Structure 1
């Protein structure tokens, strides 16, 4: 009779063999900005993939070969669906058919900036109901250190199976950067940390067969979880420094963009980060607060992280204050002013407006009594307060001429900046869109 260790080794070897010969069926739970690109890459690698999502609209679109994620190539999705390499469902009972499944669901914060793990827990329960021997479960959602071991493992073991012996569990953080032209899911290095050596080996084998990038193994899921938060906290803090420098430089009459460009000439010890109207996206503004929350369990106060968060959160207020100052130069009150806002996406050339700093800017303009219009060629609609807004798709000369101020909130490549400069009464550019000094008395940079 096999010992539990021998049984685990045997199941791991069998799973790794199936992963290597591409007979394994792969599941992906959550078909959003992370899940759908991952599902596509796994199907392109030769696996049969089943995508799971609670939203019927997403499932229907995938099964029709209709793409809704910018980083996925339309034709590739259509081909994979046509060849039956990829299908989607809302029925989680199909979990019993998969050999490995990745959880790629949202991990938002609640109103108190505490982790909301409801989506992860719900997914884990669904998987637990259909978990079988020899199966691999990988959590990809960004979360606090300890989630895989303290939250996911107990739920999965409610199935009666033991982690590391009967099934395998690992954490591998997603590193999706929407709109990045160089690094996609396929070629971004992957970090993997399993509950046991067999867990790590199985997960590393799967990703190694799918991605054209290095697979970096770490000693535990907690290390991998902390690594992901460290990445985004690093960016959060350095962006906060850039934002604070922008505020100070404006007070001192110094061009912060020129300062950063000059500092970036140093070949060591400096990495350029740039100011902006605030932080957006589902990672950088949120992930550091997961660590702050978890630190309280260890009686530790993350002072630097929280200060950085406060600085970045204050930027929409600062943007509106600068708008008011610019209008005042022409003796125009913000109350009743016509503000043309260019861009609502949180970064250039994408349709993602999650956590966009433009949303609080719009709210503050409302409070001040300003009238605003939003132009965004990428975002078809966005939720603002309790309503759905549809941005104008293209900027016209008439819009520019009639606006008291044009706010460049997102520096989309589609905007004609020379036309904007030529036809606007006043411009406040929060993104350094021209990338050079503009000799125009109506143009102001953050």
Structure 2
């Protein structure tokens, strides 16, 4: 059914026509005899020009009394205006007020602190900057799923409530589950591995939860992760998939989100440079480079946020850090065939100081080695009995990775903090709105 009004995005095709627009008053200025109404409806914005002598006195007076974010229905004629971003404006004939707030909109023209804006996140999302970020986020997700779908991957949803840890017990949210304990999912990977044994090329996508009390600009307690898992892919093929996926996402955002990137004042030349091949460093090489650059992180420790920032500032494209020590990585990672102290894994770091956006590995396909690793890490074996079945019945070489959506959005949009990359950020201090 066609809506009985016109969406703002469609106004350029209606030049010269009389239309009705429904939306909200984003801004307004007046010169006494003319009101300039900035209207938005979620699909775009348009300026409505309301001339006093061309409308009823009641309508002109009603428009003058509107607060920002009043909901309105505006009727008028679409006129060409080359100065306008959309190329058109609306010559207003009448305004019908759906609801005019009783008082001033909380988020005004003055600067507000980040805590105030996050407390009013439900309203902050209406701002042009936040809308630009959310549109980029939607494009990142859409293009990633499009890429995987076109390459033959099947979406297999994984549960949010799990009976086993995927990334170590220290980061688990424990919940009461009837007469037993359960956890909010840290990852859908273990389930994606089972699905890969059934369908070959799969991915899961959904919210994941980490209980670490981290306060960095790169961490959230709830975030969305895209996790492909591929049968018969080794470590090298896994990195190739990551490279192709990231290149596709960046290219798609550049193609479809030019106005949003411009609104964020993003330097697109940095994004236009994101092309294969990406750089590669072995973990030992990365530690050596870091020492030369002033870091004191010793060999054998995981890389911290500061280390990732230092490394990515040395490269103009993403860089893979490969083959970390086994002692700092998860139990399911495949032991390096030439060095049993290492595992076949990678972290993909985005340039410009943004750090890790993907973590991946070849999975351990040996039943005996996997059991040994579970025991080494002091994990209970019983919750993993079904996961071990994958190695009992038709074990196979396989690999996969997890891509943090918010980290990718923060990098591509040029955000200083990951909390702007998700509609409703959850941190150790924030549960509302």
Give TM class, smaller chain: under 0.3
TM-score (norm 2): 0.25
Q: Which structure has more RCO (C-alpha within 8 Å, separation ≥ 6)?
A: 2
TM-score (norm 1): 0.25
Task: Name the structure with the higher helix share.
Answer: 1
Q: Which structure's CA Rg is the greater one? A: 2
Task: Name the structure with the higher strand share.
Answer: 2
